[in-house]
Amino acid sequence: MQELDASKLMDLHECVINGLKYLSGKKLPSLDFLNEYSRLFGVGSGNAEVTLRILLECSDAVIADESEYKKKLDIAKGIDTAILLSASGGKHAHIIGKDLNERDFEAYLFTCNPNALAREYFDEEKVSVFPSTKELYTYNFITYVSMILTKTKEDPGQILKYIMTEVDPLIPGTLGKYKAFYLIVPNRFNNIRDMFITKFDELFGSKISKRVFTPEQSKHAKTVVPSDEMFISLGYDNQLFGNEDVRLNIPLPENAGYAAMMAIGYYVIGNIQAQKPPWFKENLVPYCKWASEVFGHKIEPIVKYV
Residues 6+ apart with CB under 8 A from 242: 182, 223, 229, 230, 231
Question: Length of the chain in residues, anyone?
Answer: 306
Mean pLDDT confidence for 75-91: 90
On the CB side of 146, how many CA atoms lie within 13 Å of its CA?
28
Predicted structure pTM score: 0.93
Q: d(Cα 207, Cα 61) in Å, to the nearest integer?
A: 36
Report domain extents, the chain: 6-151+298-303, 154-279
Q: Span 154-279: which CATH code?
A: 3.40.50.10490
> Using one digit for the tens of pLDDT, what is the confidence trace for 97-128?
998 988 888 899 999 999 999 999 999 999 99
pLDDT, residue 1, reads: 46
Domains 6-151+298-303 and 154-279 share a fold: yes
Rounded Cα gap, residues 56 and 42, in angstroms: 8
Q: Given 3.30.70.1450, 3.40.50.300, 3.40.30.10, 3.40.50.10490, which CATH number is that of 6-151+298-303?
A: 3.40.50.10490
Predicted confidence (pLDDT) per residue in 219-236, tens digit? 999 999 988 999 999 999
Strands of 61-218, DSSP E: 62-64, 81-85, 106-111, 127-129, 135-136, 180-184, 209-213
